[in-house]
Amino acid sequence: MTNNRPNNQPTELWDNLVTTALLGTERRPLAQAQASASLGAALSQFDPNDQEHTLLGVSALLSLYQQAGMVPTTIERPEMRPSASDDRPVCNPRAAQHLTMILNQKYAAVLSEWLEALAQTGQRVPETMLPTLLDFCRTNEEVHQLLHPIIGKRGHWLAGQNPNWHYASIDVASSNTLESDTDEADAELAELWETSGRSQRLALLRQLRQQHPHRAREVLLTTWSQEKASDRTDFLETFRVGLSQADEPFLENSLDDRSKEVYRVAAELLARLPESRLVQRMIERITPLLEYTPKQEPRVFPPQPGRKPKLTITPPEHYDATMKRDGITEAPTTKKTGQKAWWLQQMLEVIPPSYWTNLWGAPPKDLLEAATKSDWKSALINGWAKATEQYADATWAEAFLGQEKLVSEAQLSLLVEILSPERREAYLIPHLRKSTNTPAELIRRCQHPWSPELTRVVLYRIRSTIKNADTRSIWHLQSLIIQIGLYIPPTMIHDVTNGWPTDAKVWHTVEAAVEKCIATLQFRYDMLKELTQ
């Protein structure tokens, strides 16, 4: 039995009670003790000859006495300020009903489109739907920025009351103070940063990187050395947005961070800045190792045979600490890749591919042709493909697409994504027309509003595949058929509804997917029509 004697209870009375309870009333009768007048009057009502009953009664009485004398605990809470009034009108009930269906997971994939369309109307979400919307979007970082203009001031206020919703509690765009570079704005931002939790800080950095990257960097520097390694890594990841040469000194210093993950992210970010010291060091390392001989066209007079372009490679000999600091790993990720080839590939990945075309005065097509004849073909092709993806170099991407057998289907789909929607379709439409199968991965990379021409070509290719396929080779089309309903123009609902080969022997395998595609397209048509009315 634990002695939980209250502070305001007579010590002697409580000690006697505990001792008697431990030893038993036969061995240790309950002794009388001094008590206050009110407590003594209550105790006198017990029969001293009935020790067991008296022990239980006194225990109950003391317990009540303790509770009656307790002062309730008070919790100091900061004064809660009411939300400011919203100046945006609420969307109409039909539009809100569409959002309800999205949040009920039936059409969750069109959430981004709904949010963007609502923002364009200058309207906001009804207050009653804010808790469900904020909870639904909590783990979906892709839509966080889309929420800010449409949840209104009340939504930002509400998000500040729940730690799980802090990602949406700050709207930098609506804060005139945070947008300015005055001392007052700096003080407000510093206070907000110091008093916010981790999730709220991440949300703040993401917003600032969208609009004021330098302010995000400045406020992070104020506490950088005190942050945990995991937090430093996550905070640094936000620099992928709004990245510029102005971030280079901070990122260069982060290469010496004690955390492996921090300097890994810093190296990746620096590799996206062509003018960074890291990229320049890579150029100095590798340029002496590569020698290019341009191609030469044959001539009739004076007679001279043609010559194909050639690359001569002198592989790096040693791995040192400076390479490690710049993010080059020593051991290859696969056994098929040699160690020196792996070092060479990693160096090429960091350097803008346009550097080589400018250095040698040769188009990417010629350099890729020379790479295919080299003993270091894999390192050259993989390194340049990764650099093309990293720097989003459309010229090199089109060169790779012109020699698509050089790269895997996965690499090809990433290169397609670099192109503008118009150039992407210009490549994909003839590719689909001459293809005998459905390149699902390439089609999935076209995540933009499709033109009618691309829509018709994709539908024709999918329907042809269904008509001629067997059940074993058609399973991969099910998810693709559902997905294309997100990109086809909703006005083409009639084209999508009709023309399917319902008599094909594999139709039962894809019928449900086609129905979902049509339902999604119809929902998007009704949704956008309601928002634009």
58 against 493, higher pLDDT = 493
| pLDDT band with cut points at 50, 70 and 90 for residue 34 | low
Tokens matching residue 367: 């350099």
Q: How far apart are CA 283 and CA 424, in angstroms?
A: 31
Where does 222-375 have alpha helices with state H?
229-237, 248-254, 260-270, 277-286, 321-325, 339-350, 354-360, 364-372
Residue with tokens 């086809």: 488
236/191 Cα distance (integer angstroms): 20
Which backbone phi and psi does 180 adopt, to 5 degrees?
Answer: -90, 165
* Closest by Cα among 477, 473, 516, 476 to 496: 516
Burial class (CB in 10 A: 0-12, 13-18, 19+), 301: exposed
Confidence category of residue 19, pLDDT binned at 50, 70, 90 = confident
Q: Minimum mean pLDDT among 49-58, 151-160, 210-219: which range?
A: 49-58
pLDDT band at residue 77, thresholds of 50, 70 and 90?
A: low
β-pair partners for 299: 304
DSSP 80: P
Between CA 227 and CA 68 the distance in angstroms is: 47
pLDDT for residue 66: 66
First to last CA, the chain: 73
Q: Which tens digit of pLDDT belongs to each residue from 402-459?
A: 998 898 888 888 999 999 999 999 999 998 998 878 888 889 989 999 999 999 999 9
Higher pLDDT among residues 218 and 297, named by residue: 218
**Residue written as token pair 């007679």:** 303
Contacts of 189 (CB under 8 A, 6+ apart): 178, 215, 219
- Type and span of the H or E element at 386: helix 377-390
pLDDT at 289 over 50: yes
Q: Would you state the structure tokens that stand for residue 501, as one six-digit string?
A: 């080969």
Q: How confident is the model at residue 178 (pLDDT cuts 50, 70, 90)?
A: low
Nearest to 64 by CA among 9, 109, 119, 105: 9
Indicate the residue type of 252: E
Helix, strand or coil for residue 78? Answer: coil
In tens, the pLDDT along 190-244 reads 888 988 888 888 888 988 898 889 999 999 999 999 999 999 999 999 999 999 9
Tens digit of pLDDT for each residue in 318-334? Answer: 999 999 999 999 999 88
Task: Look at 257 and 473; give whichever has higher pLDDT.
Answer: 257
Instruction: Look at residue 341 in the predicted model and tell me its pLDDT.
Output: 95
Output the average pLDDT for the chain.
87
For the residues 84-95, what does the mean pLDDT come to?
A: 90
